[in-house]
Amino acid sequence: MLGELAALGTAIAWTVSAALYKGALSKTTPLQANTLRLGCSGSVLVIFVMATGRFHVFLSLPANAVVLSALSGLIGLGLGDTLYMMSLKEIGVSIAVPLTCTYPLFSLVLALIMQPRTVALEVGVAATMIVFGIWLITKRRAADEAERKKFRVRGAIYALGAAVLWAVSIGMMNAAVTIPETSTLDSALVLNTLRVLLIAISLVAIRPLMRKRSGFAEVDRRILARLALAGVIALGFGWFLLTYSFLLIPQARAVPISSTTPLFAVFSGAIFLRERISISNIIGASIIVIGIFILFLL
């Protein structure tokens, strides 16, 4: 039960961070926004690890876990999240989010390839229900936005590319934290910190090589604060909770639960912004809840 709740906490954290990204991306480029949020989040996580006396865990990490977490950060946080932000800017939240939230299906495919016996039929059915429910929840909003803004295939490709990269990244992180030497809460925290810090340093390092440089100094302080807060919520709390869930339940169960971000987005919009909930919203939400319930019972 605790593992499922951790994965559900991931979805809530990513819901909050997505709302914060939306405002920040209107005044920054995707790569600039990603670099800033990673740098701020990495700094906060390192300070937290050192302040809580967990720095020694860095020294005890096995080399294979470090390599896996570093590659996970490069693929998921560097490439995947940049594509996600590009899709948000290209086709909007209502279309980009449901497309990227198909990553559980890609994760299931990878899990079936790597370890076929670890994925039960019920898990596949539940994951498919969750993705279908997400589509029902967001289809009207996507259609309305598409009428206002011409749908661009390029933006959809960015979103689906992000989903594939996230699936690969999640699989690598799952492998890193389930090694016997790293299957502890402290190791999960430190490995998550390491992957954020390494990709932040990498993005800053390659900036001088880019033709179009985006200066960080001219970024508004409020935008920087928004990106920093979103980064800490998504990369600190969200990814840590997902990593922690891998210690308690199989990846095939944790990942679909973590993808229910649109469910919380719809209900938060109804509660705080008084947005109307349609019949498709209700049906989609019901299907998602049933899918989650199946995963909780397994």
pLDDT at res. 56 = 85
pLDDT at 106 over 90: no
Tokens of 177: 């934290």
Total domain count, the chain: 1
pLDDT at 213 over 60: no
**CA separation for the pair 266, 261 (Å, rounded):** 9
pLDDT at 272 over 70: no
Mean pLDDT, range 259-263, rounded to an integer:
73
pLDDT at res. 234 = 86
Residue pair 296/1 in contact (Cβ under 8 Å)? The answer is yes
pLDDT at res. 267 = 65
pLDDT at res. 181 = 82
Tell me the pLDDT tens digit for each residue of 139-163: 655 555 554 455 567 877 888 899 8
pLDDT at res. 144 = 54
pLDDT at res. 165 = 94
**CA separation for the pair 259, 105 (Å, rounded):** 10
What residues contact 203, with CB distance under 8 A and at least 6 apart? 31, 34, 35, 38, 39, 78
**CA separation for the pair 28, 13 (Å, rounded):** 22
Confidence of residue 225 (pLDDT cuts 50, 70, 90): confident
Mean pLDDT, range 253-282, rounded to an integer:
69
Q: How much is the mean pLDDT over the chain?
A: 77
Query: Which residue range is the domain that position 97 belongs to?
Result: 2-297
* Percentage of residues of the chain with pLDDT beyond 90: 5
Instruction: Give the residue, 54 or 215, on which the prediction is more confident.
Output: 54
Tokens of 121: 């039929």
pLDDT at res. 138 = 62
Tokens of 135: 């589509």
Closest Cα partner for 259 from 291, 231, 297? 291
pLDDT at 73 over 70: yes
pLDDT at res. 257 = 81
pLDDT at res. 41 = 86
Closest Cα partner for 205 from 13, 60, 43, 39? 39
pLDDT at res. 208 = 65
Per-residue b or e along 106-131, where b marks 16 or more CB atoms closer than 10 Å to that residue's CB = bbbebbeeeeeeebeeebbebbbbbb
Tokens of 20: 């914060």
pLDDT at res. 71 = 92
Mean pLDDT, range 228-243, rounded to an integer:
86
Listed range (135-144, 164-173, 189-198, 238-247) with the worst mean pLDDT: 135-144
Mean pLDDT, range 229-238, rounded to an integer:
86
pLDDT at 116 over 70: no
Confidence of residue 75 (pLDDT cuts 50, 70, 90): very high
What spatial distance separates the first Cα and last Cα of the chain, rounded to whole Å?
Answer: 10
